[in-house]
Chain A
Amino acid sequence: MTTEDDRHRPSAGKAFVVLASVFALLFGAVVTLLAFDQYRVLAAATRLQHETVPEIIRYQRLARNLDQLNHEGERFFSSHSAEERQQALFLVMLVASHPSILEHPQAAAMARDTENYLGEINQLAARDPSALRARYPEWQRISQRMHLLVDDISVEGANLATADLDDMAGTMRTARFKLLGALALVGGFILLLIALLRQHLIRPLQRIDHALSSLDVEQPAPQFPDASLAEIHAVEEATGRLHKAMISNEAARRELELLANRDGLTGLINRRHFMVGAEAEIRRAQRYGRPIAVALGDLDSFKRLNDTHGHGAGDVVLRTFAGLLTDSVRQSDLVCRYGGEEFAFLFPESSVEQAHILVERFRQRFAEHDIRLPDGVLVRVTLSIGLADASHCPLEIALQRADYALYEAKRLGRNRIVVAAEAD
C-alpha cells in the first residue's frame, strides 16, 4: 500500500538517473573543455606546421641568401682580375634579384645598395685598381650591417614559433589542470556513489538480510530506521508483513495441531497422538533403564447409562471424567480417550506400584464424584483399570497385557484395579 509519505520518497531508479545525469553533465562539460583545448592545440600545431614553420624556413632561406650575397661581395673584393670581379658582380646581382630578398624591404634595400655600391666600385676599379683596397673598409662596414641583418632575420624567423609554442604550452597546461579536475571529479563521484550506495542501499539490505535471517514468531517484529529509498522501504514493510503472516500461520498451525491431536468431546489427546508420545517415552525409558507403566481404564456400565439417560448424559459423564482426570494426573503423564468410554494412561518414571497408587487415588475420587446429568439427575460412575509394566516390552504388548488386566477387573466385579502379571 502506497502512503503519502512513500510518494515523496525517491525510488532507487530515479535517484540513479539523477546521479548519472549530474555526473554525465559534469563529466561532459569537462570533456568538452578538454576537447576544446585539444582543438586549440591541434589548430596551433597545424598553424605551426603549415604556416609558421614554412615562414621560418622562408626567413632562414632569406638569411642564407643574404649570407650568399655577402660572400659574393667578399669574392668581388678578393678577385684577381676584372673578369673575376664581373662574374662576382653578376652573382651579386643574381642573388639580389631573388624573390626572397626582393619581398623583404630591409633585405631588398640592403641588396640594392650592395649591388649599386659594388657596381660603382667595379667601374672605379676598371680605371684604378687601387680603388678596391681604398674602398674595402667601407665594404666591411656594409658587410657588417648585412651580418647584423642576417642575425636579425634569423632571430625574427625563430621568434615566429614562440607565439605558437607559447599558445600550445599554455593550452596544454590548462588542459592538464582540467584533466586533473576531471579525474578528481570522477574520483569524488565514485566516492560519493559508494557512500550513497552504502548508506541507502547496502546497509539497509544488510539490515533486511539480518532481519529475514532471524525472523521468528517467537521474536518481536523487526524494526527498521526510516529508509530513504522507496524500494528499500517497501521491502522493509514487506518484512514486517511477513512477520505478521508468520505469527498468524503459527497460530493456525497450532490450532490445527490441537484439532488433530485432541479428542473433540473430552479435550484429552486422541489415541493416535497418545501412541506416538507413548512410543517415544517407552523407548526413552528403556534406553535409560527407567521404570514406566501403562494402564487401560473403562467406565463401568456406561452402555446402560446411555440407554437410561440418553447419549447426552453419556457425553456429560465422559467430559466430567476427563476434567477430573486432567486435574489428577501429573503433567508428565499421558492420558487419552482410547475409544468410546475406554481411556489409556502412560506413567513415565513410575513403577507399577507407584502407578497403582496414582490410579487407585483417581479411581476412588471418581467413584465418589456426583455427576449432574442434563435431566438434573445426579449419578455416580465407577471405573475399572488394568495396569501393566512397560519397562521391558513394546507398547503394544504392554497395552495388550493392561487390556487383559482390565478384562480381569471387569470380570471380578468392576470398580477396581487389576495389575497384569509379570511378563514371562
Chain B
Amino acid sequence: MNSIRALALIAALFSGLLQAAELKVAVLVQDPAQISMQGKLIPSSTPGADLVAVTDELAREICRRIHAHCAFYYVRLAEILPGVEAGRFDLGFGNFLRAPEREKRVAFSDALFRSSSRLIGTPANVRAYTTKLAQPVNLANLRGARVAALDGSRQQAYLDRNASERALTVVATSTTAEALDLLRNDSADFALLPIRTGYALISRDKAQRFVFVGPAVTAHGLGDTAHIVLEKQNNALRRAANKAIAEIKADGTFQRIMYRHFPVFLD
C-alpha cells in the first residue's frame, strides 16, 4: 500500500513538473495596434489580423501538444529573434526563414510551410517605373526606388545588400501594415514582403490600391521554408516542438488552422 502511495506521489510530482513548464512565446504582429494585445482580442479590422490569428492558433496548439503553460507576447519581428537569443522568449513565431547569420544566434524548428517574397506597389508606381526602366518592373531590375521592408526581415537584408549598387532606398518598418501605409502616403514606391503576408494585406484593402509587382522570388534568401525560432541550447524544447509540428501536420490540425483564416492551403 505504501509503495502504491509512493508511486502515485512520484507520478503526481512528475505530472506537476510537466504542467509547471512555463514558456514565453513571442507572436509576430502585423500592425502596431496589435502589440501587447491578447490574440483573441485583436480586432479583426486591424491589418493582418488573420495572419496574427493563424500564428496565435499555431502557437497555442503547439503549446498544448508539448504540455506547457505558455505566456504569449505580441511583438514586432525585430524583437523576436534577439528576444529568443537573449532568453526573453522560449519560442518565436514569426515565420522565420533560415539564414546563416540567424543560425548562429538561434535554433530553428522543422518547417511549418514554404514561403517566397514579392514586391507590392501601386498601379501608378508600377506604370511609372515601367516607363522609367523601359521594361516591366520586377525585383531583379528595380533601380532608384524607395522600397519598404520589415525591420529585421530577410527582405530587408536583401535590399540592404543591393541598395548601393542599385540606388535603392530601404525604408525599414516595424510592422508590415506600416509598410503598406508608406505606400499609401507615397513615402515608399514599393514594399518587399513575404507573399502570404502581402496577400493577406492587399486582399483586405477595400480600396484595392495595391498590386503584386513582378514574379515571386525564392532566391537570395527570400524564400524557402518558414520556421519557429528557439533558444539555441534548448534541444529538448526543439525536439518537443518538432514532434508537435509533425503531429499537427499528420492529423490535419495544421491544415484546419490555415483554412480557418485563408481560402487556400498551400503546402
Contact = CB atoms under 8 A, between A and B. Distances in A.
Interface of A: 61, 64-65, 68, 72, 83, 86-87, 90-91, 93-100, 102-103, 108, 112
A94 B195 contact: yes
Interface string B212-237: 10011110000110000000000000
Given A86-B208, A100-B266, 6 more contacts: A90-B202, A90-B212, A91-B264, A93-B118, A97-B116, A102-B223
Given A65-B266, A102-B223, A96 B208 contact: no
Interface residues of B, number: 21
B169 to A, nearest CB: 25
Interface of B: 114-116, 118, 195-196, 199, 202-203, 208, 212, 215-218, 223-224, 263-264, 266-267
Contacts of B116: 97-99, 102
A83 B207 CA distance: 10
A373 B266 CA distance: 146
A90 B199 contact: yes
A94 B212 CA distance: 9
Contact of B216 (A64, A72, A97): A97
B208 A102 contact: no
A100 B267 CA distance: 8
A96 B195 CA distance: 10
Given A94-B266, A99-B223, A87 B218 contact: no
A97 B263 contact: no
Contact of A97 (B118, B202, B267): B118
24 contacts: A68-B264, A86-B208, A87-B203, A90-B199, A90-B203, A90-B212, A91-B203, A91-B263, A91-B264, A94-B264, A96-B216, A97-B118, A97-B195, A98-B116, A98-B216, A98-B266, A99-B116, A99-B218, A99-B223, A100-B267, A102-B215, A102-B217, A102-B223, A103-B218
Contacts of A64: 267
B264 A99 contact: no
Contact of A61 (B223, B263, B267): B267
Contacts of B196: 94
A68 B216 CA distance: 17
Nearest to A65: B266
A98 B223 CA distance: 9
Most chain B CB atoms below 10 A, which of A64, A87, A93, A108: A93
A378 B203 CA distance: 167
A99 B116 CA distance: 6
Contacts of A98: 114, 116, 195, 216, 266
A37 B223 CA distance: 41
B207 to A, nearest CB: 11
Nearest to B267: A61
A61 B264 CA distance: 13
B215 A112 contact: yes
B25 to A, nearest CB: 26
A95 B218 contact: no
Nearest to A61: B267
B202 A95 contact: no
Contacts of A96: 216
B218 A68 contact: no
Most chain A CB atoms below 10 A, which of B217, B224, B266: B266
B266 A68 contact: yes
Nearest to B264: A68
Closest 10 CB pairs between A and B? A97-B216, A97-B195, A94-B199, A99-B114, A90-B203, A98-B266, A93-B212, A99-B218, A61-B267, A97-B116
Nearest to A57: B267
Contacts of B263: 91
A301 B149 CA distance: 162
A83 B208 contact: yes
Given A72-B264, A91-B264, A102-B218, A97 B212 contact: yes
A112 B214 CA distance: 10
Contacts of A94: 195-196, 199, 264, 266
Contacts of B264: 68, 72, 91, 94-95
A96 B266 CA distance: 10
B216 A95 contact: no
B204 to A, nearest CB: 10
Contacts of B267: 61, 64-65, 100
Contacts of A65: 266-267
Contact of A99 (B115, B199, B202, B212): B115
Contacts of A100: 114, 266-267
Most chain B CB atoms below 10 A, which of A72, A97, A98, A102: A97
